[in-house]
Amino acid sequence: MEPVALRRLWGRAEEFDALHDLLHDDAAHPRGMVLCGDAGIGRTALYWAAVDMAEATGRPVLRVRASAADELLAFAGLADLLDGVDDDVLSRLPPPQRRAVDGVTLRIHPSLDVEPRTVGTALSTVLRLLGADGPVLVAIDDEPWLDRPTADALSFALRRIDQHAVRVVLTAPVTGPPGRVRQALVDAFGTRLQERALGPLDAVSMRRILGELDGPSLPRTLVERVVDAAGGHPLFALELARGVRMLDHPPRPDEPLPLSARLRDLVAARVEGLGESDRALLQLVAFASRPTVDLITQRPGGAATLDAWEGAGFTTVDRGVVKLANQLLAVAVREGATGPERRATHAALATLVPELEQRARHMALADSRPDRTVADALERAAAATAARGAPSAAAELAALAVARTPESDHDARARRRLGLAALCFRLGDTDDAIGLGKAVLSSPTTDAMHARALLLLAEVEFENGLSEIAVRHCLTGLQLVTDDVELQARLHARVAAVATHDLALALVHADRAMTLLADIDEPDPATECMALQGRIAATLARGHGLVMEDVERAILLEGKAPAPRVADRPSAALGAWLAWTDDVHGAKEALEGTLQTARDEGDESSVPYALSHLPLTLLRLGELAEARAVAEQVLEAAEATAQDYQRCQALWMLALVDAHLGDLDRAAREAEECRVAAVAGEDPWIVRQALSTMGFVELSRGRPAAALGHLRAAVELEERIGLRNPVLRRGAQLLADALVEVGDLTAAAALVDDLADAADALHTAPTQAVCRRLRAQIAAADGRLDDALDLLEEARRHHARQPFPFDEARTMLVLGQVQRRRRQRGQAATAFQQARDGFAAIGARGWVARVEGETAGSAGRSRGGSLTAGEQRVADALLAGATVKEAALRLHTSPKTVEAHITHIYRKLGIRSRAQLGAALGATAAPSTDDVLHT
């Protein structure tokens, strides 16, 4: 350890040993230490000791000393933290993270908007890379003064470094609530975080500090008086000693020390004792965010003054930046400046600093009166800061821009309010965004500006789940705009994006937007991308296929004007679109790519979306256990990010998977919870999914009549939405199934013909196979067994093109039923075995039981002891509540055969009603009107 570092730590042996243990622990998990204390107690000395100790052992160090002037400047602290990170480390970041780091630290000009979460993810990746070979130190001095974007990025990163050797040393005042980074450490590190309160130093240590750091020694009696007055605060002692030296003669023993006993007053008095030019220059340092040596030396006499300041303990130079020695000195300079001095300092800095954001802030602070030039600069700075991934700092600049806009400049004020509203919406302040949008609507500005306000309100309301209100806003905006073609196109494009309740309407407006954009020489890529994305989704959902030229064009435009969130991009939607064409393998690959992108960019809000289509894809691939695990991840991620829509999606997927697994009670509860939440959110898309799953549960229980109500409601919503894609029309598929079982073959045939025509047009083999299987069930129920066998063979050929295990097993189950009815017992047994093996392989326990029910007792007798297999199947149908006609349809036999079986069952068991049947077989029978036929 260098002597200077040792001198800083007199009286802090316990803290020094704790820091040594922290920094020399090579365990692969994060640890941290928070050092709290009053101003002047020695927090910064311990910060430097930790830095020196880590650097002496060759460990990587990321360090930042925050200051009051940095608090409002976006990513000022992050630039310091990453200052010493080698380019070879940064070059190993994923491209989105590298671009984010370079953009926010102004190594490059950000050509595209940077998301704050991407910055946090990049920082966590840097920490992992640096800590791969041993502990890396993150040192933060005066954490409460960190600018918010840096604090957010650090908090994000520190919560995501479990199992990595990261060591954090943070200093903070002893009073006040914990800052964002400190709270993240408490939450993430748990018991691996030490918090140490720094108490006063002993008299011996205080004397040594005065002797070493105070220059020419004072008389011993004065040293003792200073030590007693300082109360164990080393900075207080040094300031008292300096005050004594400013006197013409040392105070006599009977005279009081000349300055206040309050440290803050001592520091302020020292500042006030400077000459006017020195004080003005010191104010430049205090009010500037990054006062470089070059900035100070540009001023007359700056170089000599800087040397004198360092000698007097006013300033230090760290990596080319001049910093006041401590926060008390910074506060004293800033608070001690008069109003005219502050304004003059900000006016001078506005001409000196190179960065747009700093320059605009200083212009605003130099004069609080409305001014067009200042408002313009603030507006530009807000846009640039938002692009760097600091929306909170950008919102502060945007609010200043609104405040500095003259009252008479209605259009500029409205434009800036909308800019601020967009930032508020991005930050999650929905109410503020709506309020600002409505303020523009009521202001005396142009119709075009009112239309832009409606456009913003449409986006906000759609995110709130109110697609119909969002559409109304856009249509009202279109009535106001007559001569702005690009704005008209954006309004049409927004309708295409938000009209999920009316796909035909979405398609009309998508086409209208594209037509308008074609007449613009250089159309806005974001508008064109939105319109294309709306057209692709609506076209596919309407059953017209996936137009890959449009997809490729949309993804190309995305690169020029990406959506803020990964989930809103065409490249993210591609996975869902491929699933809608039955291309589940392509969908799985695309969705996993979207998930990786969301994680690379730290976009946690998009993780639920990226996961949400995977469970259904995995289910169709026969991976039921993994499908359920992913659905649970969707639920956890949705609840963690407060996304009600994705939470409903997760509940629906859990219900669907559980129904396939055979856990019907749990599936019913999940589906009902999903339906209730979706109805409350006025979302017909998810309501129909919940209803179709509730219908599937009832079908799985053998209660087709109970399923009809759910499924008819689901199909009604499909028709209201305009859904024509047969892959998405699960309600219609299941309704056809239920209609066959209850004997309404005419309605079932009409529904299946509609689905089959659409599936044939799209060449979606798995859905074509389902339609053939449904047609075979209709033919068998109608007594056309040869036609049924032909249709089932056709279904198997479609399955062979693209196998979906569950659907294949269902086809084999129906094939076994038809073959048994044709008395092809050997072939039927083989088909039943294949069906059972198929269901068992994917874990569909309920369906395994159903197949076993079909084949139980085929060697002679049933579990009832005297019933044949055929009689047992009829008994099971009756116990499930089926009528004679329904039982005949379900078992692919005639009503007369069912009635004959009922007669034999009742005679063998010595009973006269269905209720007695339940008792005889140890089950509860459902009452039926056909009981009267056998009483």
Task: Give dist(CA 415, CA 158) in Å, integer.
Answer: 38
| Predicted pLDDT of residue 271 | 67
Lowest mean pLDDT among 153-157, 220-224, 606-610, 785-789: 220-224
What percentage of the chain has pLDDT greater than the value 90? 34
Convert the pLDDT of each residue in 392-413 to its tens digit. Answer: 888 889 999 999 999 899 999 9
Convert the pLDDT of each residue in 890-907 to its tens digit. Answer: 776 778 778 777 887 877
Task: Give dist(CA 57, CA 475) in Å, integer.
Answer: 66
Instruction: Look at residues 116, 104, 51, 47 and name the one whose alpha carbon lies nearest to residue 79.
Output: 104
Q: Which tokens is 139 given?
A: 């040192």
What percentage of the chain has pLDDT greater than the value 70? 87
Task: Give dist(CA 834, CA 593) in Å, integer.
Answer: 35
Looking at the chain, the number of H-run helices and the number of E-run strands are 49, 7
* pLDDT at residue 260 tops 60: no
Mean pLDDT in residue range 559-576? 82
3-class secondary structure for 658-705? HHHHCCHHHHHHHHHHHHHHHHHCCCHHHHHHHHHHHHHHHHHCCCHH
- CA 6 from chain center: how many Å? 46
Task: Give dist(CA 605, CA 613) in Å, integer.
Answer: 15
* pLDDT at residue 549 tops 80: yes
Among all chains, which residue has been given the structure tokens 């039955």?
Answer: 582
Q: Which tokens is 237 given?
A: 């002692």
* pLDDT at residue 931 tops 60: no
**Contact of 434 with 442, CB cutoff 8 Å:** no
**Contact of 674 with 686, CB cutoff 8 Å:** yes
Rg, C-alpha atoms of the chain? 37
The confidence band for 108, taking pLDDT boundaries of 50, 70 and 90, is: low
Most confident residue range from 85-94, 595-604, 802-811: 802-811
Among all chains, which residue has been given the structure tokens 């000196």?
Answer: 352
| Predicted pLDDT of residue 926 | 39
The confidence band for 927, taking pLDDT boundaries of 50, 70 and 90, is: very low
* pLDDT at residue 753 tops 90: yes
Mean pLDDT in residue range 37-42? 80
Backbone angles phi, psi at 139, to 5 degrees: -115, 125
Q: Which tokens is 860 given?
A: 């002679």
**Contact of 247 with 256, CB cutoff 8 Å:** no
Instruction: Look at residues 347, 283, 345, 331 and name the one whose alpha carbon lies nearest to residue 309.
Output: 283
Convert the pLDDT of each residue in 110-138 to its tens digit. Answer: 555 677 778 888 888 888 888 888 888 99
Most confident residue range from 548-557, 591-600, 889-898: 548-557
Task: Give dist(CA 379, CA 376) in Å, integer.
Answer: 5
How many of the other CB atoms lie within 10 Å of CB of 672?
16
| CB within 8 Å of 296: residues ≥ 6 apart | 281, 284, 285, 302, 303, 305, 306, 322
* pLDDT at residue 19 tops 80: yes
| Predicted pLDDT of residue 179 | 82
Instruction: Look at residues 666, 707, 672 and name the one whose alpha carbon lies nearest to residue 690.
Output: 672
The confidence band for 91, taking pLDDT boundaries of 50, 70 and 90, is: confident
Mean pLDDT in residue range 335-349? 84
Edge-first strand order for the sheet with 61-65 is 61-65, 136-141, 166-173, 31-37, 193-197
* pLDDT at residue 437 tops 60: yes
Mean pLDDT in residue range 357-385? 89
* pLDDT at residue 790 tops 90: yes
Pairing of strands 321-324, 315-318: antiparallel
The confidence band for 439, taking pLDDT boundaries of 50, 70 and 90, is: very high
Mean pLDDT in residue range 144-160? 86
Longest CA–CA separation in the chain, Å: 126
Mean pLDDT of the chain: 83
How many of the other CB atoms lie within 10 Å of CB of 910?
8
